[in-house]
Structure 1
Amino acid sequence: MTLDESRTFIPIRIAILSISDTRSIDDDRSGQTLVDRLTDAGHTLADRKMLRDERNQIADQLRAWCADRDIDVILTTGGTGLTGRDVTIEAHRDVYEKEIDAFGTVFTMVSMQKIGTSAVQSRATGGVANGTYLFALPGSTGACKDAWDEILVKQLDYRHRPCNFVEILPRLDEHQRRK
């Protein structure tokens, strides 16, 4: 895994959705962590919202952003646990056309190095819908840092070799185009 400096960096447009029944945008440290990291990397914050743990509302927001041609990637934080109110993963799966199975696996591997076997309680997922990438991250600031620093910063950088999500972004919705 290398960074190919001969390739030009391509900034992408990322929306952040935080899910919480108890926090507001003003005290949303995890969402702010993602905003800081994506802008520091040279990407554009396309939108930012906060919703309560309501599956239909989360799925509706994800669908609305997937329909917005000015959003390439959606990152959600929160609502990924095991309690009854944690419905973010299920909302994501309501929207996905394809799931990126290895994202959850790699996230678990990264988490194991940081929090040991407690990683089994951290659900994370990734997928694609309507030409947009979606990633659901746990609500802890540490988990957001780990997901960004160890996975997303590389996969969302066109210069990352041998491959990355950005280079196939234009082809995600090729099945919807006329032949």
Structure 2
Amino acid sequence: MSDAEDDGFAAFVAARGTSLLRVAYLACGDEKEAEDLLQTALERTYQHWDRVRYDNPEPYVRRIIVNASISRARRRAIMRIIPMHTPPESAARETDVDLRHVLMDTLRALPPRQRAVVVLRYWEDLSETQTAEILGCSTGTVKSQASKALAKLRAAIGPEAAEGVIGNVRA
């Protein structure tokens, strides 16, 4: 790759790296694994930079992150049973910090595909069509997965708190 192409890739990583790391963290729920996912995605992107740099490379990287996260979760599920996190007692839900922990624990407990839909639709504020493209599925699948995931999130944090938190996720 030429120096100009290297500079273009470096500029892309500098501009979008933090956002992509957030996507990786929300997709897997673990800081170290998120760093690994992002590193893997950036490595694969760099290998194909001459092809993807002319299009918007960010959706390409997001798709690698989400697919890698789902694959890793499946491998872990085959090797062992993943423990489900239980939300803290209702008294702990009174503060925003505790509510955020409950939300993140519940997000981690979602199946990988549902977690990916929630992250892409509500944290990254992508449309159903964009989310479907990244995940390689239909918009109907995105809608049904989002509905199931949001129902689980609402059940975990309570309906009144869910409207405040889930309703403000796009903000």
Q: TM-score, normalised by structure 1?
A: 0.29
Structure richer in strand, relative to its length: 1
Structure richer in helix, relative to its length: 2
Q: TM-score, normalised by structure 2?
A: 0.30
